[in-house]
């Protein structure tokens, strides 16, 4: 039975939002309802990314939404977050695509790029005419990207790149890859490079057999003597901290996305529990243990909303620290995953079927918990902040 999402607001959260913020949220919600919900289970089943949604999302200003100029929508951080929430209510894979395009490709070009790079890429990326990917992770360098092996060597007016990147969202559909590499001539300092994906020596191969984020493209990248003009270096990228600044942008969006996924599974479980009857012809919502699960979910969703809104307001005042964002990402994704597991339980056998969105969200959230800093890594970031001790 198809259940229509009704929105989730137990604490009158909307009273904390401006009219513009509610408009952005509702516009995105409608887009997801009309364009994502009807197709997502089939795309997920088939393991395909819905390419037909790329341009419509550009028309709505979803890419680089909080950047200024270059045809971007110039949203506040809270508005951008609400877009991420609604997209992830549809599917984490779709939100991942938009996060990568916005926070991991447009943002580094915007923050570390030359004027020529910005003019060339940002307007086209804002429209969705050009797509990007972000290559940081490697087969042997995940949580510790400083162990990366990818190298860039200066050769006259060119750089020559060699290395392997792994688990790269949108890798095989990207026109440009932001590749992080250690530069030979700069004592192995990490810098960002814009690599057009049609350069000789660049190859992207998709990862198949994923049980998670099936409606998102995930690829490995191989760079073998890939030559790029020296002008393709991101001139203001300055060590691994530049890559981490990009991750901060993406993690912020993910924290909102977690709320969206949790809302989807909570609302589904609540509706299901009200019509599914077991024992004495009573809806399962009348049983105390089912209510306890639903109450846990709405309680945690409400707290997560407040946390991420607060971080968003701080971010709008340029006062959000990386450890604030770590707390929001860590809390909200773990919360969403727990909600998904509880919702699956409430749906009984139906919880494993893709007639309902619960198992898809649950499987997606396993990736979301791992990428952009695992739950453990964010624990250590917060631990370091409060104790002053690096426990990595």
Ligand X SMILES: Cc1cc2nc3c(=O)[nH]c(=O)nc-3n(C[C@H](O)[C@H](O)[C@H](O)COP(=O)(O)OP(=O)(O)OC[C@H]3O[C@@H](n4cnc5c(N)ncnc54)[C@H](O)[C@@H]3O)c2cc1C
Residue 147 lies near ligand X (rule: CB under 6 A): no
Q: Which of 169, 242, 248, 305 binds ligand X (CB under 6 A)?
A: 169
Distance CA 294, CA 124 (A): 44
Distance CA 105, CA 108 (A): 6
Q: Smallest Cα–Cα separation from 58: which of 102, 15, 26, 118?
A: 102
Candidates 30-38, 166-174, 233-241, 332-340 — which segment interacts with ligand X by CB under 6 A? 166-174
Q: Smallest Cα–Cα separation from 328: which of 145, 107, 74, 81?
A: 81
Helix spans in the chain (H): 19-31, 37-46, 54-59, 77-90, 92-99, 107-112, 115-127, 240-275, 288-316, 322-346, 358-370, 375-387
Distance CA 95, CA 182 (A): 30
Residue 193 lies near ligand X (rule: CB under 6 A): no
C-alpha 195 chain-centroid distance = 22
Residue 168 lies near ligand X (rule: CB under 6 A): yes
Least gap, CB of 333 to ligand X (angstroms): 13
Residue 211 lies near ligand X (rule: CB under 6 A): no
137 vs 232, beta carbon nearer ligand X: 137
- Using CB under 6 A, which residues numbered 329 to 368 contact ligand X? 367
Residue 162 lies near ligand X (rule: CB under 6 A): no
Residue 136 lies near ligand X (rule: CB under 6 A): yes
For helices 240-275 and 92-99, angle between their N-to-C axes, nearest 10 degrees? 160
Residue 204: its H or E element = strand 202-206
Q: Which of 5, 167, 193, 256 binds ligand X (CB under 6 A)?
A: 167
Q: Which of 370, 382, 383, 384 binds ligand X (CB under 6 A)?
A: 370
Residue 39 lies near ligand X (rule: CB under 6 A): no
Helix spans in 179-239 (H): none
Candidates 36-44, 330-338, 351-359, 371-379 — which segment interacts with ligand X by CB under 6 A? 371-379
5 vs 359, beta carbon nearer ligand X: 359
320 close to 309: Cβ distance less than 8 angstroms: no
Candidates 42-50, 73-81, 165-173, 313-321 — which segment interacts with ligand X by CB under 6 A? 165-173
210 close to 89: Cβ distance less than 8 angstroms: no
Candidates 42-50, 164-172, 184-192, 222-230 — which segment interacts with ligand X by CB under 6 A? 164-172
Residue 392 lies near ligand X (rule: CB under 6 A): yes
346 close to 278: Cβ distance less than 8 angstroms: no
Catalytic residue list contains 366 = no
282 close to 352: Cβ distance less than 8 angstroms: no
Residue 178 lies near ligand X (rule: CB under 6 A): no
Residue 35 lies near ligand X (rule: CB under 6 A): no
Least gap, CB of 92 to ligand X (angstroms): 9
Distance CA 226, CA 6 (A): 50
Q: Which of 142, 201, 235, 383 binds ligand X (CB under 6 A)?
A: 142
324 close to 311: Cβ distance less than 8 angstroms: yes
Residue 376 lies near ligand X (rule: CB under 6 A): yes
The residue behind tokens 């203001």 is 236
The torsion angles phi and psi of 140, rounded to 5 degrees, stand at -110, 15
- Of 21, 164, 300, 372, catalytic: 372
> What distances in angstroms separate CA 18 from CA 73, 88, 311, one per listed residue?
17, 21, 16
Residue 134: its H or E element = strand 132-135
Q: How many residues bind ligand X (CB under 6 A)?
A: 21
Least gap, CB of 219 to ligand X (angstroms): 9
76 vs 218, beta carbon nearer ligand X: 218
The torsion angles phi and psi of 236, rounded to 5 degrees, stand at -95, 5
47 vs 71, beta carbon nearer ligand X: 47
Residue 78 lies near ligand X (rule: CB under 6 A): no
Residue 100 lies near ligand X (rule: CB under 6 A): yes
Candidates 73-81, 132-140, 301-309, 343-351 — which segment interacts with ligand X by CB under 6 A? 132-140
Catalytic residues: 372
Give the binding site for ligand X (CB under 6 A). 100, 134-137, 142-143, 167-169, 213, 218, 367, 370-372, 374, 376-377, 380, 392
């Amino acid at each position: 039975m198809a259940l229509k999402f009704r929105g989730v607001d137990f604490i009158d959260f909307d009273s904390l939002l401006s009219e513009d913020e509610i408009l952005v949220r509702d516009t995105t919600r409608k887009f997801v309802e009309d364009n994502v919900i009807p197709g997502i289970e089939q795309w997920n089943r088939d393991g395909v990314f819905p390419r037909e949604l790329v341009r419509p999302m550009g028309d709505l200003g979803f890419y680089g939404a909080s950047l200024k100029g270059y045809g971007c929508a110039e949203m506040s951080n809270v508005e951008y977050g609400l877009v991420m929430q609604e997209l992830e209510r549809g599917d984490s894979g779709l939100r991942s695509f938009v996060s990568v395009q916005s926070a991991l490709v447009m943002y580094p070009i915007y923050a570390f790029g030359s004027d020529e790079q910005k003019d060339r890429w940002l307007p086209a990326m804002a429209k969705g005419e050009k797509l990007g990917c972000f290559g940081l992770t490697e087969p042997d360098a995940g949580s510790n990207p400083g162990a990366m092996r990818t190298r860039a060597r200066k050769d006259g007016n060119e750089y020559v790149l060699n290395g392997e990147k792994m688990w790269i969202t949108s890798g095989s559909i990207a026109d440009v890859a932001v590749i992080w590499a250690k530069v030979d001539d700069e004592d192995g300092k990490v810098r960002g490079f814009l690599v057009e994906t049609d350069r000789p020596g660049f190859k992207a191969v998709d990862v198949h057999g994923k049980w998670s984020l099936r409606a998102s493209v995930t690829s490995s990248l191989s760079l073998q003597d890939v030559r790029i003009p020296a002008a393709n270096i991101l001139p203001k990228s300055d060590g691994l901290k530049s890559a981490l600044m990009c991750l901060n942008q993406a993690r912020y969006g993910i924290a909102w996305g977690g709320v969206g996924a949790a809302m989807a599974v909570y609302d589904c479980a609540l509706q299901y529990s009200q019509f599914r009857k077991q024992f004495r012809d009573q809806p399962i919502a009348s049983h105390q243990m089912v209510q306890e699960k639903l109450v846990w979910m709405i309680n945690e969703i409400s707290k997560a909303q407040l946390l991420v809104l607060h971080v968003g307001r701080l971010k709008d005042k340029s006062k959000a620290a990386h450890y604030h964002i770590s707390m929001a990402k860590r809390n909200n994704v773990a919360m969403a995953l727990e909600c998904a597991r509880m919702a699956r339980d409430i749906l009984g056998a139906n919880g494993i079927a893709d007639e309902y969105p619960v198992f898809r969200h649950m499987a997606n959230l396993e990736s979301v918990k791992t990428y952009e800093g695992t739950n453990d890594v964010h624990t250590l970031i917060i631990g370091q902040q409060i104790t002053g001790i690096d426990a990595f």
